[in-house]
Amino acid sequence: MDFLQLSVLSLGLLLSLGQCNVIKTKGETSSKRTDAAPCCTADQFETGYGAIIGQAIDGTPIAAVESLRGGFDFKGRRYGMNVSFVQFDGTSTEYRFIGLFEKGKAYIISDGFCQQVPLGKEPVQCVPDSATYMDSFYLGDKALLVDSWFMAVSQSAGLEGAVFATTTSGDCVPGSNNFVGTAPAAQGKTAYMTVSGGYMNFTLGIKDPDQWFVPPDSCGNSTNLLTESFRLPLQHWKRMQAMKMML
């Protein structure tokens, strides 16, 4: 299965799930908005995120689940998240990420140890200008209007593909986020990937900034010389960011 076939298959799946459906009522021909434009979400908030990952390498399927809960402070350019990545064979990776972009520092904390890591890509507050508005639709009985977006991904953390995402109309709260494409795998191989996820339990403001943005004492002596045990969390962090349109 090549990338084009995978893209068509995954987009068909999204349509069948109703994530990109146009909701029509009697007398209406389309829910597409004429005033839709890339938007920006709140300056400070906490949110959760979860996704199911499916990939195939040499025809062998592999599945995993990833989730996070974090605080995002775009005013102070600081971000903190607790991340979990569990493969269906039971292998799991849990870590904490702290990105203090104003100070030029980022840390990954795992198993009580702290490693200073390269800053990498800063979380994105706005739908990128490169994104294309697709349509709008309602969740529930006209309870919530959301906008859907498409964005191509090229050479970001080695990924090639596309992101399909939604935001609420008006306040730009991120909703679903789906990726389809390819990624480099071990031994020079290529993994064909689909990721279906979304944000949940979004709350404005940050109740306890220290919980998210203050590194533990173990980070005081950390250096930016990356040790082997932190390569997998860092690789996962970069790839997870590249698959998302926002945050």
What are the φ and ψ backbone dihedral angles of 83, each rounded to 5 degrees?
-120, 140
The single-letter code of the amino acid at 160 is E
| Averaged pLDDT, 219-231 | 75
Q: Report pTM.
A: 0.84
Between CA 163 and CA 161, with CA 90 as vertex, the angle to 5 degrees is 15
Q: Would you say residue 16 has pLDDT above 90? A: no
pLDDT attached to residue 224? 65
| Averaged pLDDT, 3-11 | 39
DSSP string covering 84-95, please? EEEETTS-EEEE
| Averaged pLDDT, 34-61 | 93
pLDDT per position as a tens digit, 104-152: 999 999 988 999 998 888 999 999 999 999 999 999 999 999 999 999 9
Torsion (CA) 186, 187, 192, 197 in degrees, nearest 10:
10
* Helix-strand-coil split of the chain, %, nearest 5: 15, 45, 35
CB atoms within 10 A of CB 212: 23
Give the strand order in the sheet containing 78-87: 113-117, 105-110, 92-100, 78-87, 60-73, 44-57, 190-204, 174-184, 159-168, 144-156, 132-139
**Average pLDDT for the chain:** 86
| Averaged pLDDT, 61-77 | 96
The dihedral through the CA atoms of 102, 51, 209, 111 has a sign that is negative
pLDDT per position as a tens digit, 190-202: 999 999 999 999 9
